[in-house]
Amino acid sequence: MHKDDMILISVDDHIIEPPEMFKNHLPAKYVDEAPRLVHNADGSDTWQFRDVVIPNVALNAVAGRPKEEYGLEPQGLDEIRKGCYDPAERVKDMSAGGVLATMNFPSFPGFAARLFATDDDEFSMALVQAYNDWHIDEWCGSHPGRFIPMAIPAIWNPQLCAQEIRRVADKGVHSLTFTENPSTLGYPSFHDLEYWRPVWEALVDTETVMNVHIGSSGKLAITAPDAPMDVMITLQPMNIVQAAADLLWSAPIKEFPTLKIALSEGGTGWIPYFLDRVDRTFEMHSTWTNQDFGGKLPSEVFREHFMTCFISDPVGVKNRHLIGVDNICWEMDYPHSDSMWPGAPEELSAVFDTYDVTDEEINKITHENAMKLYQFEPFNHIPKDQATVGALRKSVEGHDVEIRALSHERDRSNGSSGMDALTAAAEANSSAR
């Protein structure tokens, strides 16, 4: 398949939330207490909520910047592309990159919205619902067919979380972001079936996918405080391997046969070995660990419940049949540092050509699997012949996608190393209730 004929839907991109996001959705009595984006004297922008300060850390929003500028910047909205926080500009960037639609994870609240877990359930729910309504009605609603809506959870209360899953499902949402490891956030693990039962039941009843994103445990994958940044970046996907094992061997997988889980930004190259390992574990140990998958192998059950996704990952594409072509989606990861924007079609097509991926397989990986999983129907809004890479790029000819230096090179000497700053942000997002 020629790259211009592909239809691309990304199941993992990110929003840098705009400062006015709560304006139209939070009850008036809470407006003064809402998180706010503060412009600081050094030119940086930080989200502040009560005693928590969350920087716009580094690699979250480097789209359009040269790699030489990657690091602790950008830290201000004026140093990032408008497409990071403006849906109209995001859609232009998507079209210029040949991408039809994206699903966007939150940034400042954390992937599991742990920030909103206060000592006041009513206020916490107001924050969660305001965020979800802004995301669904304003961000996604502004351009029908271009965004897959996603909800954040009421992570601190399974009953309230279930209620919110059902509420947003009535608005057409079939995607929930969650944590890869609840126990690291101070909650019972996935193995506590009864504690999380309301959530599992709501997910299954509404056909909503639980998306567990790397880093959503609030803990960075580091080996030592003085390890180079490269260690953390290399190991980041390892958390998702742990989450996959936790969930595959957990009771909910056995009790809820239609439960769907996406391993977001976890890559795919590791999965063939993982599936071999879980089958070997089952073969050697199930008689004394009392594991029972109803006559199936763990690898078979994995393929029934889990969707995986990749950005580039040539190893995963090469081994796609060992994973299951129906279990693979593509992601762009805009505007993070791993993103292939704006050259996704070229990079992706090169990988597909190298490993002789058929047109049928390309269609599944690039958009059909995502549409089926999230019950997303973009062609109700955009004719299919206008949804291809070539057609989308033609529709925004002249849109500026040049890679250019955006850093203001301010002196923000706060005595923190890159690892220190990233750790502080992770800890802020997972601050205990």
CATH number, domain with residue 275:
3.20.20.140
Residue 346's pLDDT is: 97
Q: Please check whether residue 195 lies inside any domain of the structure.
A: yes
Identify the sign of the CA torsion 10, 14, 19, 23.
positive
Residue 217's pLDDT is: 80
pLDDT at 294 over 80: yes
Residue 407's pLDDT is: 60
pLDDT at 81 over 90: no
The model's pLDDT over 193-245, given as tens digits with 9 standing for 90+, comes to: 999 999 999 999 999 999 999 888 877 677 888 888 788 878 877 779 999 99
Which of residues 222 and 426 earns the better pLDDT score? 222
Residue 126's pLDDT is: 98
Q: Please check whether residue 354 lies inside any domain of the structure.
A: yes
Residue 63's pLDDT is: 67
The model's pLDDT over 26-64, given as tens digits with 9 standing for 90+, comes to: 999 999 999 999 888 887 888 999 989 887 654 466 665
Q: Please check whether residue 63 lies inside any domain of the structure.
A: no
Grouping H, G, I as helix, E, B as strand and the rest as coil, residue 224 is: coil
Domain boundaries, position 348: 3-35+94-399
Residue 70's pLDDT is: 54
Within 8 A by CB and 6+ apart from 265, the residues are 12, 213, 214, 237, 240, 309, 311, 331, 333, 338
Q: Please check whether residue 349 lies inside any domain of the structure.
A: yes
The stretch 103-126 carries a mean pLDDT of 95
Q: Please check whether residue 191 lies inside any domain of the structure.
A: yes
Average pLDDT over the chain reads: 89
The stretch 307-332 carries a mean pLDDT of 96
Place of tokens 């954390």: 110
Displacement of CA 174 from its chain's centroid (Å): 14
Q: Please check whether residue 432 lies inside any domain of the structure.
A: no
Based on the structure, what is the number of domains in the chain? Answer: 1
Q: Please check whether residue 161 lies inside any domain of the structure.
A: yes
Q: Please check whether residue 154 lies inside any domain of the structure.
A: yes
Residue 45's pLDDT is: 85
